[in-house]
């Protein structure tokens, strides 16, 4: 579970005595407050530990943080200054995820009180009731990361979680199930994407890598559409994944 005032830092995996296979270690910290808080471990392989135990651990961490008050700030990052020649776009902000969502989609999105694990910020987007302007997935979200290493780690965790082989299959209106790179155009890499069915939902996960471009930031996004309607989801993604993660 997620609580206001608490953030989670992924500390990788470790092999612990008496437990078969590596376990994931998560550090629980007060939001936006430097601290030497304890490291708590959630044992993903222990079948007798469910979400109530995990939530209890987070509650203990929150109490240890001495009642830290979570303050939601607007834009935490500031765009960089444009180049002196006046022709270059402003640099993408370090942590303002909303600035990396196209303006025609932004009104459907709100910042999540606590970002996804390893992310700086996460925005969740739901279609507005009565504001049907073209197709939009039932739910999608965008997370911004400090660098490519954190972004790729989150992506690989998603791939491993759903046991999807790398560089296999396709994510198109005709075929749904696979993983691989995507490009902006010839000799212009963009990121990676994977797709799968989750019950009755079609789901796509993708990265938009900065790759040294001032107007881009390292983001990971996830979109899902009910009714297994991967054809409409693929058509939406074909356009928007070039834009989400890029300053307008």
Q: How large is the average pLDDT for residues 172-186?
A: 96
Most confident of 78-87, 97-106, 123-132: 97-106
Kindly indicate the confidence band of residue 80, based on its pLDDT and cuts at 50, 70 and 90: very low
Q: In what order do the strands lie in the sheet with 6-14?
A: 6-14, 23-30, 39-42
Question: What pLDDT was estimated at residue 25?
Answer: 82
Model confidence pLDDT, tens digit, residues 114-151: 999 999 999 999 987 655 557 899 999 999 999 999 99
Q: Evaluate if residue 12 carries a pLDDT over 50.
A: yes
Model confidence pLDDT, tens digit, residues 204-213: 999 999 999 9
Q: How large is the average pLDDT for residues 4-22?
A: 76
Average of per-residue pLDDT values in the chain: 81
Q: How large is the average pLDDT for residues 26-42?
A: 59
Nearest CA to 193 out of 212, 168, 161, 216 is that of: 168
Could you identify the residue written with the tokens 């997370």?
Answer: 143
Q: Evaluate if residue 45 carries a pLDDT over 50.
A: no
Give the E-state strand segments of the chain in sequence order: 6-14, 23-30, 39-42, 109-111, 121-125, 139-144, 168-171, 176-185, 188-198, 201-208, 219-225
Q: Which of 6-15, 60-69, 120-129 has the lowest mean pLDDT?
A: 60-69
- Is the overall model pTM greater than 0.75, yes or no? no
Question: What pLDDT was estimated at residue 86?
Answer: 44
């Amino acid at each position: 579970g997620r609580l206001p005032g608490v953030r989670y830092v992924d500390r990788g995996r470790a092999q612990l005595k008496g437990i078969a296979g590596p376990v994931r270690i998560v550090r629980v910290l007060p939001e936006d407050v430097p601290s030497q808080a304890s490291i708590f471990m959630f044992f993903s392989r222990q079948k007798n530990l469910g979400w109530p135990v995990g939530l209890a651990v987070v509650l203990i961490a929150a109490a240890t943080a001495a009642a830290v008050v979570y303050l939601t700030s607007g834009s935490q990052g500031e765009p960089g200054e444009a180049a002196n020649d006046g022709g270059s776009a402003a640099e993408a902000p370090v942590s303002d995820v909303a600035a990396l969502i196209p303006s025609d989609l932004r009104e459907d999105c709100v910042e999540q009180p606590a970002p996804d694990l390893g992310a700086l910020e996460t925005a969740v987007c739901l279609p507005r009731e009565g504001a049907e302007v073209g197709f939009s997935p039932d739910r999608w979200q965008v997370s911004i990361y400090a660098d490519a290493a954190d972004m790729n780690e989150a992506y690989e965790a998603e791939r491993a979680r759903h046991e999807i082989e790398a560089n296999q299959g396709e994510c198109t209106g005709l075929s749904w199930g696979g993983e691989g790179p995507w490009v902006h155009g010839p000799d212009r890499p963009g990121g990676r994407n994977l797709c799968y069915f989750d019950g009755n939902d079609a789901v796509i996960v993708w990265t938009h890598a900065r790759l040294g471009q001032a107007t881009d930031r390292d983001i990971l996004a996830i979109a899902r559409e009910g009714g297994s309607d991967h054809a409409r989801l693929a058509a939406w993604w074909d356009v928007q994944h070039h834009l989400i993660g890029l300053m307008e």
